Amino acid sequence: MKMLLGHEWVDREETIDVRDPFDDSLIDTVPAADHDDVETALATAFEARDTARKMTTYERAQVLYRTGQIIAGDIEGFATVIAREGSKTIREARGEARRCVNTLTIAAEEAKRLQGETIPFDSFPGGEERRGYYERVPIGVVLAITPFNDPLNLVAHKLGPAIAGGNSVILKPATVTPLSGLKLTEAFMQAGLPPGVLQCITGYGAVLGDALVEDPRVRMVSFTGGVEAGERIMSRIGLKKVGMELGSNSPVIVWKDADLDWAVETCVSGAFWAAGQNCIGVQRIYIHRDVYDRFRDGFVNRTKAYRTGNKLDESTDMGPMINEGEAKRVERWVKEAVEKGARLLAGGTRDGALVPPTVLEDVPEDATIHFEEVFGPTVNLYPVDDLDEAIDRANSANYGLHAAGFSNDVTVCHRLAAGLDCGSVILNDSTDYRLDSMPFGGVKNSGLGREGLKFSLQEMTEPKVVCWYLPGL
Ligand code: NAP
């Protein structure tokens, strides 16, 4: 595919192969942008700020609705691209494409709810004979940098609010999965977005990243990805707004009175969705000792029934990791845990990029797979005796995106809600639950700021005060 740079779709002599991680087959190529292309993107976006700002709220909302409808009319096409270039099975990919329709629809709705307020200037001495208000105005150029694991919907979570807020936007999608973002960009243009307001530049983050994030014409960097790239960006960004949606190591607490069958069912899905490459994927499960054996046996049985393999096969539950290097890393972390005393209950071996769903118990706290984000299809089980101990251990990671708890005791649920240190506490469902309209983001190394359309729209606009001095009023 070509990239959308300036006002046109362009090729470059140097290209990047986009391959299916299941069989390494070539799907397509995309241009490898260079620094001249970065300059074109920045100059175009800077100039297009005016066009974007002058679009009426109605026009912005209509473009967003129409883009959503284009996707709704081609769920299979979008899902196939997601499933081929990434790790998701076709069923998971359809889910993402449908969610993307919701995301864009919510963005359109939120565009119309973007409001200011009147300001009671006379509430303090010095404000007499003054009237005024504030409204929310666009910030200018938004740079959206996105990861590989939700290559469509996480892009929509940035483009949607950026456009709803009247900004121009440059998208830099993940190099391994650029096609979904390019296809979404095409849909926006088809829906009537004026030229220049959106561009999609493809190429390596390590090559293009600094020049994009450092440029003063960019007013906000909205980043989703890993801590390493996030920290690099923070060190280069200068005086700009920033959104950082980073990783996690999500804990779940299963209490003795929980519905265990449901907890097993939803935690298995939450652990192995997208082959565990999910920022809110279940990684550590703390289970009350009284029900530990029952939960563990149920979990392992359900895990062993998982079908892995070809992502395009309707019966496949889980596909490969994004590449063999990542699969080798996960294999290494499992091996390290086992060498330190962990017991392997399921999975653990690797075939190319395919890591089967893996379950461990007795994982020592100095094992990397305990304290780091695994971002792969593995889960650790731990027995616990006391709720405070469970909460402390859940909070021990240096991340805090989602945490979950299962209990039918309302007091236990309230203690979990109050005690778990994270962006969202999900009760009686796994950490892998997100509604696209809710505030989404984390504490500690999980990031800064919140997405979820209403919230990202606040980040991508700013208040502007209008104040009249009206003598004699
Ligand atoms: P990544 O390696 O950090 O890459 C994310 C994006 O950043 C890619 O587009 C990448 O480009 C770009 N990038 C890399 N280095 C850069 C630099 N120096 N300057 C500017 N951009 C740079 O992450 P990933 O492997 O794609 O995604 C996995 C991570 O994302 C996990 O940690 C996961 O938890 C996190 N994540 C968080 C959320 C959330 O909402 N909190 C959601 C999904 C994923 P290239 O592809 O060209 O390297």
For residue 298, the model assigns a pLDDT of 98
Is 314 an annotated catalytic residue? no
pLDDT tens for 134-177 read 999 999 999 999 999 999 999 999 999 999 999 999 999 999 99
Q: Give the residue, by CA position, lying nearest to ligand 1 atom 26.
A: 147
Contact between 220 and 138 (Cβ < 8 Å): no
Could you give the CA distance from residue 376 to residue 271 in angstroms, rounded to a whole number?
9
For the full predicted model, state whether its pTM sits above 0.75: yes
Query: Structural domain boundaries of the chain?
Result: 3-246+446-466, 250-427
Fold for the domain defined by 250-427? Aldehyde Dehydrogenase; Chain A, domain 2 (3.40.309)
Query: Which protein residue's CA is at the shortest distance from atom 19 of ligand 1?
Result: 209
**Residues of the chain with confidence (pLDDT) below 70:** none
* Best of 103, 149, 401 for a ligand 1 pocket test (most atoms within 8 Å of beta carbon): 149
pLDDT tens track for 287-338:
999 999 999 999 999 999 999 999 999 999 999 999 999 999 999 999 999 9
Tell me how far the alpha carbon of residue 146 lies from the centroid of ligand 1, in angstroms: 6
Tokens of 361: 């118990």
- What is the pLDDT at residue 348? 86
- At the top level of CATH, the class of 3-246+446-466 is alpha beta
Q: Which listed residue (85, 279, 373, 422) is catalytic?
A: 279
For 59, residues 6+ apart whose C-beta sits below 8 A from its C-beta are none
**Residues framing ligand 1 (Cβ under 6 A):** 145-150, 154, 172, 174-175, 204-206, 209, 213, 224-226, 229, 232-233, 245-247, 279, 373, 375, 401, 447
Query: Could you confirm whether 372 is annotated as catalytic?
Result: no
pLDDT in tens, 347-391: 988 999 999 999 999 999 999 999 999 999 999 999 999 999 999
Q: Are 67 and 55 in contact (CB under 8 A)?
A: no
Residue closest by Cα to atom 23 of ligand 1: 225
- What pLDDT, on the 0 to 100 scale, is given for residue 349? 87
